[in-house]
Amino acid sequence: MEKTSTDAEVSKNFIEKIIEKDLENNVISNGIVTRFPPEPNGYLHIGHAKAISINFSVAKKYEGVCHLRFDDTNPAKEELAYMEAIKKDISWLGFKWEPHEYFASDYFSAIYDIAVELIKQGKAYVDTLTPEQVREYRGTLTQPGKNSPDRDRPIEENLELFEEMRNGQHADGTMVLRAKIDMSSPNLNMRDPTLFRIKKIDHHRTGDTWSIYPMYDFTHPISDAIEGITHSLCSLEFEDHRPLYDWVVENSGLQATPHQYEFARLNLTYTVMSKRLLLQLVKEEHVSGWDDPRMPTLSAMRRRGFSPEAILDFTEKIGVARANSLVDYALLEHCVREDLNTTALRIMAVLDPLKVIIDNYPQDSEEWFEAENNPENPAAGTRKIPFSKVIYIEKDDFMENPPKKYFRLSPGKEIRLKHAYYITCTGIIKDGDQITEIHCNYDPESRGGSTPDGRKVKGTSHWVSASHSIDCEVRLYDRLFTAEIPGSRTGNFLDDINHNSIKVLKECKAESLIRELASDQHVQFLRTGYFCIDEKDSTPEFPVFNRTIPLRDSWEKLKKKMGI
RNA sequence: UGGGGUGUAGUCAAGUGGUUAAGACAUCGGUUUUUGGUGCCGACAUGCGUAGGUUCGAAUCCUACCGCCCCAGCCA
């Protein structure tokens, strides 16, 4: 059999290979179980979409399930409100986790019990070293650490002290529970890692029940084991934690043996992905909020008009591997265009209007043309659009002194008005240097956009009837940063911010159909780009559109090449 | 100078001893077109971090070297 890879033959990523091997070796008893474990301390971004997609998709592919588990072990940083936003984003992407919605905080008492058991087995101890001392005792990357004086505290005393920690009898930072592993391990995570710390603050779910909270490294493997997670997928920076993960699983007394596998997180050109930097953009008002359409958050992308299908397609196209990578933003753009091309309703809108008077068209007449709603999908049907004596076209679609290869309207030249007539420019009215309106004649023979003589017309413009059109606002967005890796030159990502990343046009004219658009309807303004209604600022009286992404523009490229 | 990873095109990424080194994005040509969009056709690694070695045969195995990433939170 030859290796003619048909479309069904897609290469498997390393995680799928591991799973298939596990399945083959019969080491999985109850099916594949994965989990997406967000910490509810911020908004999800496109990088999370990769993790979400991997976890949910792999579970689905192997007929398993994917749990949603909030990793809420640090009440100092987390907020309830984020949970709803996170759930909304995951649902929006199209993934379902019910009834498997969990919280690490649900396991607090189980985790506590395991800690007590570890103490009893002499595998954990209460340490009263100060945070500074703990750091000193830990050693460095090249030097081993040394044992804490508290390391050999009698078990009974540890039990008592831990109980006191739990009861809130000690202040924050005065003591911690540590695992007794190996202070000379070359892996710093194994140098007696902290298991529990004192935090006398309320937790958004458990209230004041606890004054101690478990660390991630202790919580995560236990949570995975409790839930029967088979493959715990996380990003590369947790690689060094895997021995500790395994240590906890082994010593927890739990039956299940989940395993951790790491993959490279997503990096995208022209954007930042860290929660800290994203938060800074919001706080310092470089953007209007977490859902500013220029942000890489899922809520922003939704508002911008990116479809979940496009984002999911992107997460598949970038693959899953263990090498650090920087994905070209153009790939995301490609996925968005590819999806929207097949789904977006075509509409005519003039963003920068130039008035055109058709002199030989009767004063008070109007007629209606049929226009296709989507040439890629005849099933989308057609609609009627009105034509009259005075119309608007795009200012860019007219030039008084056109360069070579400009085949739009100019004096004496003929173009086609999409779906309507051919017009020829006969005159220009100016106010100083400004062209205020142009005059044209139309060819009645060209009705519908072609003539009996079959003559060729190079240019086709979109247009809108002046008296029938609706005013609206259009917001044009560009990438938020001008550098592939923001901050790579100066060390400060703000130095690479694109100060022209938003352009607001308030005098746009569009088909009246825009008033009837659903809030999640994607449209293509013909020859311009893909747009959607801005869910926050749009009103029926004055619709506001966000440009999702412009159409590819080979004329723009040509112009650059010709130096125009 | 400890430990753990990782290097295949401008960017992702398959490839696991014998293939012409997949595919996608980007780029560049051509073509179709009532969107300068879309579609279609073509070009794009004598080469797999480098140098040796093993082998009839190496991106794949071995050795050494080099680059890059992560780790010293009572964050996740």
Question: Over the range A263-291, which residues count as b (16 or more CB within 10 Å of their CB) and which as e?
Answer: bbbbebbbbbbeeeebeebbeeebbeebb
In order of A17, A389, A397, A485, A500, the CA distances from A351 in angstroms are 51, 20, 11, 32, 17
Span A497-550, pLDDT tens digits: 999 999 999 999 999 999 999 999 999 999 999 999 999 999 999 999 999 999
3-state helix, strand, coil in chain A (%, to 5): 30, 25, 45
Provide the pLDDT for residue A2: 30
Span A133-149, pLDDT tens digits: 999 999 999 999 999 99
Q: Which of residues 321-340 of A touch strand B (CB under 7 A)?
A: 321-328, 330-331, 333-334, 337-338
Interface confidence (ipTM) of the complex: 0.97
Q: Which of residues 499-558 of A touch strand B (CB under 7 A)?
A: 524, 526-527, 551-555, 557-558
Please report how many Cα atoms fall inside a 13 Å half-sphere around the Cα of residue A101, on the Cβ side. 11
Whole-number Å distance, CA A176 to C1' B66? Answer: 43
Domain boundaries, chain A: 31-263, 275-345+472-562, 349-462
Nucleotides of B under 7 A from a protein CB: 1-8, 10-16, 19, 22-28, 34-39, 68-76
Span A493-512, pLDDT tens digits: 999 999 999 999 999 999 99
Span A261-271, pLDDT tens digits: 999 999 999 99
Cβ contact A163:A130 at 8 Å: no
Provide the pLDDT for residue A9: 58
Instruction: Please choose, from the candidates A335, A346, A329, the residue with its C-alpha nearest in 3D space to the C-alpha of residue A306.
Output: A335
- Candidates 3.40.50.720, 3.40.50.620, 3.40.190.10, 3.30.930.10; correct CATH number of A31-263? 3.40.50.620
Q: Which of residues 236-295 of A touch strand B (CB under 7 A)?
A: 236-241, 264
**Residue A78, pLDDT above cutoff 90:** no
Q: Confidence class of residue A433 from pLDDT cuts 50, 70 and 90?
A: very high
**Mean pLDDT (chain A, rounded):** 96
Looking at A13-107, list the stretches that DSSP marks H as alpha helix, in order from N- to C-terminal side. Answer: 14-24, 46-61, 80-93
**Residue A10, pLDDT above cutoff 80:** no
Superfamily of domain A275-345+472-562: Ribosomal Protein L25; Chain P (2.40.240.10)
Lowest mean pLDDT among A20-29, A207-216, A338-347: A20-29
Decide if A275-345+472-562 and A349-462 have a common fold.
yes
Q: Which nucleotide C1' is nearest A551 CA?
A: B37
- Domain A349-462, CATH class in plain words: mainly beta
Q: Which residues of A are marked as active site?
A: 39, 265, 275
Span A381-395, pLDDT tens digits: 999 999 999 999 999
Span A444-495, pLDDT tens digits: 999 999 999 989 999 999 999 999 999 999 999 999 999 999 999 999 999 9
